[in-house]
Chain A
Amino acid sequence: MIPTLAGRIQTRLFLFLFIGIPITLLYGLYWTGWQWDWRTIQIFVWFLCTITGLGLLLDPVYIFLQTTRWDRDWPFAYQFFFSWVEFGIVFFVARAGLIPYLPEFAFQGGQGLWIATLHFTLVFVPSFLFLLGPLQAIFVRWRFKGGQFGKM
């Protein structure tokens, strides 16, 4: 699939809703000892929302970069790399305490890094694998629509 702007946004939101959020809730529950503690769990949810939000802001930039490539494509390797860049940016800005709704303490030290990295890995791996093909099995037209859903 060679993404278009609308396709990037839709696919990003789709993966966020159907893979990111469920996994994040489970992950949050795991850290709260399978107790529903929204005050803790929301940190994970907002962290993921922030990464997705940053991604949406960056999507036009990626599209611009695509237009400078002859094939106007986006190698899977780039997709992989920039996903981690997005994670890295949000993590370090949160660690610096610059995101008001994300408590600074949650991102400190080795422990903070480990919890966030594991979180993102658990969300990223299935999302990326989905992008490599399985989405095509559910949405036959998706690959021709640059990642958009719906009819041709």
Chain B
Amino acid sequence: MITFPVRFRVRQIGIDGNTVGSSRILLCEEPGAFLIGKSQEADVPLTGDAVSRRHLSLVLSAEDVRVQDEGSTNGTYVNGTRVDEQVLAVGDQISIPGWILELLAAAESPASATRIAGVEVDASLVSRLVITDDDAPPPTRRTFPDAEFEGKETVGIEALRASGHPIEEVKFCAVGGGLGSFVWVDHLRCYGVPASDIRAIGTEEVCYQTYKRYCKNSQIPDHERLRSNALSRPDNIWGFPGYAMREVGKGIGVKGIFQVFGEPTLSESYTPRAGDVFDSLDVEAKRIGWSDMLLKAQVLGLRKTSDGRYAVAYKLWGGEASGQARNRFLIADAVHLSTGYPATRFVDDFQTFITNHPDARAQVANAYEPHDQMYVEAERRGGPVQFVVRGRGIVASRIIQRLSEARAKNPEIRILHSMRSAIGPRDGAVFRKARRLVRNNVEIQPFNWPKSCWGGDLRVEYENASEEDRGIMLSQLGGTTTAERSDWIAIAERGAEEGWYRPIYGTISDLAPLPPQGEKQPAGVQVSIDTQEGNREELNADYLVDCTGLIADIRRSPFLADLLDTYHLSRNHAYRLSDGRATKGGPTGLRCTNDFEIEGLRNGNGRVYAAGTITTGGPYLAVDSFLGLQYSALRSVDHLVTERIHKVRNLGPLRSLGGWAKWMTGARP
């Protein structure tokens, strides 16, 4: 049940990432739909070049509070993930260019509705405008494509035509439009499929947009290096020549080649710059005609058709069309799903904290959501600023690097690095005869899986293993690791020596807000840690950055949840090994075959494939990586060849060499 008034804190964000002016509060006193945008008719008019006239609606009912994008040009984000429609929880942040709206908990009394943490806030943005009539349809009901799809496993093409929505037919459709989709389409193109037979549907203009946003949030700007192999290049299905060779003429010169030669034992592993990966993707996108194949739209549903194909329902974003004309169908013979991480979900205690203390939201952040503001504030503020960085993975390493850079502007920034337990040099994970390296209490691995998971003996063994054995291998070989980088090691060592970096071991048992005390002492967060020695340590921090990762719960994607429910699709499961016995854990990714086909969606000659993190726990360990996306694309396109029903020609040695020569010369495939 929703208690009215529903409150949003509204903050304006400047170009430098700073808050402009003080927070304001938006009060929605009754159920209804509130339009936000630049237009004069908007219930809440917001300014800014990148704000659309009709940007988003807040839809409030007695059951839930949702945000709905109104086809804005630059998108609506919830906790950093672009959304079309999303139910909000207290503490969620909606961001649109230049603004952040955050759902607050219900006020204790009407009188305190305009107070945050006891401080009176400017309530000039109060909106009590649109109030729905009683007999109007409830605003939460979606009419498209429910009228055609709801409760049906198979739909007829005639019925879809009769619906009046525009229909287009193609052979291949990639849903997502991110890196996984791009790589799959790139394979199809290099195998000889013409661009006119392919459609990619995604929410972003550029295939790496979502990826780039995650990188930016987790502090990987374009000039920083990723965690990726020289030969895994998503813009080249052959992986040759690699990024290291590309860098010979610039950047680090031939050093990269020597790194590749000796890595990972004799030299630090080579990894490409984020910006170089993006540039190379731009070139390939142009070569294969990506923009001609792309539909900028949100996919709302997928159904089998009675003639052995699939109907994909989507809603166009931005562009000319408006209203019902944005709702369309695409009919395709083969569909590929690569929708990436569903909306960000946080670890439980972090979620509880932001739910109970939304007023302290600016003091805590998950590393994958936009939080640059923290660094900017810490740099600007004189005097001591204390950060707690939680987690020991690669993202924590990057955040610590960012903080050590911030120390150039404010040398009184201190880092408390919270990790569950100390790991001794001989405590690394064990898999049969091998043990993982440990440095500075962090497990070290060049990439997010042991290298042979991509193409060595572990790939073969894992693929052939039973479901349970796969689960056990996954738990043994997985785990949080970081890359061995001399600059990161130096930061930790110098910081410990100079006293501005301190690791703390133990579990975080409590998070509590610290209210501001006068001008000098802004709000903070108190972090209680139960140390391994059995003590409780209480840290008064200014900020907490949680680097424990993203939880990829595929049910959080309404599109996938609908597919799971309609076709009763199977899912993979996690397994844990305890006392020599395997116990089954919660569900993970979508179940698929070794060729990445989702068998539950097979429909006559129609085939549906998947890739990326949504296939976690499936036939391959490193699904969520550039090379893993290429592997799954290769498997699924090869499968289309073997099945001989979609007329995709095999890529044997001669055609492969020919295709590669075209890539080298920049010729269209």
Provided the pairs A4-B457, A4-B460, A70-B437 are in contact, do residues A76 and B261 lie with their beta carbons within 8 angstroms?
A: yes
**CB of B576 within 8 Å of the partner chain:** no
Question: Are B656 and A146 in touch, CB under 8 angstroms?
Answer: no
Contact with B along A62-85 (1 / 0, CB 8 A): 010011111111011110100000
Contact with B along A125-147 (1 / 0, CB 8 A): 00000000110111111011110
Contact partner of B264 (CB less than 8 A), chosen from A4, A63, A71, A140, is: A71
Question: Are A139 and B656 in touch, CB under 8 angstroms?
Answer: yes
Question: Are B660 and A71 in touch, CB under 8 angstroms?
Answer: no
Contacts of B631 in A (CB 8 A): 144
Question: Are A70 and B436 in touch, CB under 8 angstroms?
Answer: yes
**CB of B119 within 8 Å of the partner chain:** no
Query: For residues 236 through 270 of chain B, which have their beta carbon under 8 Å from a beta carbon of chain A?
Result: 237-242, 260-266
**CB of B571 within 8 Å of the partner chain:** no
Question: Are A140 and B656 in touch, CB under 8 angstroms?
Answer: yes
A69 to B615, CA, bound (A): 28
Contacts of B452 in A (CB 8 A): 2, 66, 71-73, 146
Question: Are A72 and B451 in touch, CB under 8 angstroms?
Answer: yes
Contact partner of B260 (CB less than 8 A), chosen from A70, A76, A139, is: A76
Contact with A along B636-669 (1 / 0, CB 8 A): 0010000000000001010011001000000000
Question: Are B635 and A152 in touch, CB under 8 angstroms?
Answer: yes
Contacts of A139 in B (CB 8 A): 653, 656
Contacts of A152 in B (CB 8 A): 634-635, 638
Provided the pairs A70-B434, A71-B446, A71-B451 are in contact, do residues A77 and B261 lie with their beta carbons within 8 angstroms?
A: yes
Question: Are A137 and B238 in touch, CB under 8 angstroms?
Answer: yes
Provided the pairs A70-B450, A73-B456, A75-B265 are in contact, do residues A133 and B242 lie with their beta carbons within 8 angstroms?
A: yes
A67 to B434, CA, bound (A): 7
Contacts of B635 in A (CB 8 A): 152
Question: Are B455 and A143 in touch, CB under 8 angstroms?
Answer: yes
A2 to B260, CA, bound (A): 13
- A144: nearest residue on chain B (CB-CB)? B455
A71 to B443, CA, bound (A): 13
**CB of A28 within 8 Å of the partner chain:** no
The interface centre, meaning the residue of B260, B435, B452, B459 with most chain A CB atoms within 10 A of its CB, is B452
**CB of A20 within 8 Å of the partner chain:** no
- A134: nearest residue on chain B (CB-CB)? B240
Interchain nearest-CB distance for B438 vs A (Å):
11
Interchain nearest-CB distance for B472 vs A (Å):
17
- B431: nearest residue on chain A (CB-CB)? A70
A1 to B239, CA, bound (A): 11
Contact partner of A146 (CB less than 8 A), chosen from B431, B433, B435, B459, is: B459
Question: Are B238 and A1 in touch, CB under 8 angstroms?
Answer: no
Contact partner of B238 (CB less than 8 A), chosen from A5, A76, A80, A136, is: A136
Question: Are A141 and B634 in touch, CB under 8 angstroms?
Answer: yes
**CB of B432 within 8 Å of the partner chain:** yes
A152 to B620, CA, bound (A): 13
Provided the pairs A67-B433, A70-B450, A152-B635 are in contact, do residues A2 and B455 lie with their beta carbons within 8 angstroms?
A: yes
Question: Are A72 and B457 in touch, CB under 8 angstroms?
Answer: yes
A110 to B479, CA, bound (A): 55
| Interface residue count on the B side (C-beta < 8 Å) | 43
Interchain nearest-CB distance for A143 vs B (Å):
5
The interface centre, meaning the residue of A76, A144, A152 with most chain B CB atoms within 10 A of its CB, is A144
Interchain nearest-CB distance for B651 vs A (Å):
6
A139 to B651, CA, bound (A): 9
**CB of A151 within 8 Å of the partner chain:** yes
Contact partner of B455 (CB less than 8 A), chosen from A5, A63, A145, A151, is: A145
**CB of A55 within 8 Å of the partner chain:** no
Question: Are B434 and A73 in touch, CB under 8 angstroms?
Answer: no
The number of inter-chain residue pairs (CB within 8 angstroms) is 112
**CB of B288 within 8 Å of the partner chain:** no
Contacts of B265 in A (CB 8 A): 69, 75, 77-78
**CB of B203 within 8 Å of the partner chain:** no
A142 to B239, CA, bound (A): 11
Contacts of B638 in A (CB 8 A): 141, 151-152
Provided the pairs A70-B434, A71-B450, A73-B451 are in contact, do residues A137 and B456 lie with their beta carbons within 8 angstroms?
A: no
Interchain nearest-CB distance for B593 vs A (Å):
12
Contacts of A136 in B (CB 8 A): 231, 238-240
Interchain nearest-CB distance for A150 vs B (Å):
10
A138 to B656, CA, bound (A): 5
A145 to B237, CA, bound (A): 15
Contact partner of B634 (CB less than 8 A), chosen from A66, A68, A138, A140, is: A140
- B232: nearest residue on chain A (CB-CB)? A143
Contact partner of B262 (CB less than 8 A), chosen from A67, A76, A146, A151, is: A76
Contacts of A145 in B (CB 8 A): 455
Question: Are A2 and B451 in touch, CB under 8 angstroms?
Answer: yes
A95 to B486, CA, bound (A): 46
Interchain nearest-CB distance for A64 vs B (Å):
9
Query: For residues 410 through 467 of chain B, which have their beta carbon under 8 Å from a beta carbon of chain A?
Result: 428, 431-437, 445-446, 450-452, 454-460
A71 to B453, CA, bound (A): 8
Interchain nearest-CB distance for B447 vs A (Å):
8
Interchain nearest-CB distance for B230 vs A (Å):
9
Question: Are A144 and B634 in touch, CB under 8 angstroms?
Answer: yes
Contacts of A4 in B (CB 8 A): 456-457, 460
Query: For residues 1 through 48 of chain A, which have their beta carbon under 8 Å from a beta carbon of chain B?
Result: 1-5
A137 to B633, CA, bound (A): 17
Contacts of B657 in A (CB 8 A): 137-138
- A81: nearest residue on chain B (CB-CB)? B266
Interchain nearest-CB distance for A131 vs B (Å):
11
Contacts of A151 in B (CB 8 A): 638
Contact partner of B445 (CB less than 8 A), chosen from A71, A78, A137, is: A71
A72 to B433, CA, bound (A): 10
Contacts of A72 in B (CB 8 A): 434, 450-452, 456-458
The interface centre, meaning the residue of B432, B455, B458 with most chain A CB atoms within 10 A of its CB, is B455
A48 to B264, CA, bound (A): 30
Interchain nearest-CB distance for A121 vs B (Å):
17
- A142: nearest residue on chain B (CB-CB)? B455
Contacts of A68 in B (CB 8 A): 433-434
- B457: nearest residue on chain A (CB-CB)? A4
A66 to B436, CA, bound (A): 14
Contacts of B266 in A (CB 8 A): 75, 77
A152 to B638, CA, bound (A): 8
Question: Are A133 and B451 in touch, CB under 8 angstroms?
Answer: no
Query: For residues 342 through 364 of chain B, which have their beta carbon under 8 Å from a beta carbon of chain A?
Result: none
A66 to B264, CA, bound (A): 13
Question: Are A137 and B451 in touch, CB under 8 angstroms?
Answer: no
Contacts A133-B240, A138-B657 known; 7 new A-B pairs at CB < 8 A: A4-B457, A66-B457, A70-B428, A73-B452, A139-B656, A143-B455, A146-B456
User: Lowest 7 A-B CB distances belong to which pairs?
Assistant: A2-B456, A133-B240, A72-B452, A137-B660, A71-B451, A73-B451, A144-B455
Can you show 24 pairs from A to B with CB atoms below 8 A apart?
A: A66-B457, A69-B265, A70-B428, A70-B437, A71-B264, A71-B452, A72-B452, A73-B264, A75-B261, A75-B264, A75-B265, A75-B266, A76-B260, A133-B231, A133-B240, A133-B241, A137-B240, A138-B657, A143-B239, A143-B455, A144-B631, A144-B634, A146-B460, A152-B638
